């Protein structure tokens, strides 16, 4: 009987778990957007704010810890430049969603477009950046996972205090 060896959880697996969790939130939002329930607007706002919080924290830990370390380890940093530009676009949409006073079609469209941006960003990280990071010499992704998890916990605690 053969056993398959599971990869040791590393920074990439932590970030990818975030990706999967936020994808579920976008799917739930999409279902609400097509719902005719009277409670949908309030639930949509709450879900959209949760998406924004998750993405804000995720982007911050990538920008503070993951990207700088990967940038140092890789010769070709085009993917990192692109990822940072994608983060800037996502942050702009996040700000628009958070500042919205009405839950209308434009609000739904902004959340939908944010989801599309994130899908694109996730595919590039999963298919291109993470494999390159894992192959890079001298990059301790297993150790970095703990650093990311700790920083994420701090940021989420800060966000809940501000909410």
In which band, very low, low, confident or very high, does the pLDDT at 103 lie, cut at 50, 70 and 90?
Answer: confident
pTM: 0.91
Domains and CATH numbers, the chain: 11-162 (1.20.120.520)
CA distances from 101 to 30, 43, 95, 98, 106 (A): 20, 14, 12, 9, 11
pLDDT, residue 4, reads 46
* Helix 11-33 with 40-61: angle, nearest 10 deg: 160
Across residues 88-116, what is the average pLDDT?
A: 94
pLDDT, residue 105, reads 82
Residues in the chain: 163
The separation between CA 117 and the C-alpha centre of its own chain, rounded to angstroms, equals 10
């Amino acid at each position: 009987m053969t056993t398959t060896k599971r990869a040791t959880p590393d920074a990439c697996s932590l970030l990818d778990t975030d990706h999967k969790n936020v994808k579920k939130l976008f799917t739930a939002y999409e279902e609400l957007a097509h719902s005719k329930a009277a409670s949908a607007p309030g639930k949509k706002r709450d879900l959209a704010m949760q998406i924004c919080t998750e993405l804000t924290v995720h982007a911050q830990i990538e920008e503070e810890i993951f990207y700088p370390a990967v940038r140092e380890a890789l010769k070709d940093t085009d993917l990192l430049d692109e990822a940072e530009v994608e983060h800037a676009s996502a942050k702009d949409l996040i700000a628009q969603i958070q500042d919205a006073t009405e839950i209308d079609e434009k609000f739904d469209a902004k959340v939908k477009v944010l989801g599309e941006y994130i899908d694109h960003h996730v595919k590039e990280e999963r298919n291109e950046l993470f494999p390159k990071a894992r192959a890079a010499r001298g990059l301790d992704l297993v150790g970095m996972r703990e650093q990311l998890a700790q920083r994420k916990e701090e940021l989420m605690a800060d966000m809940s205090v501000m909410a």
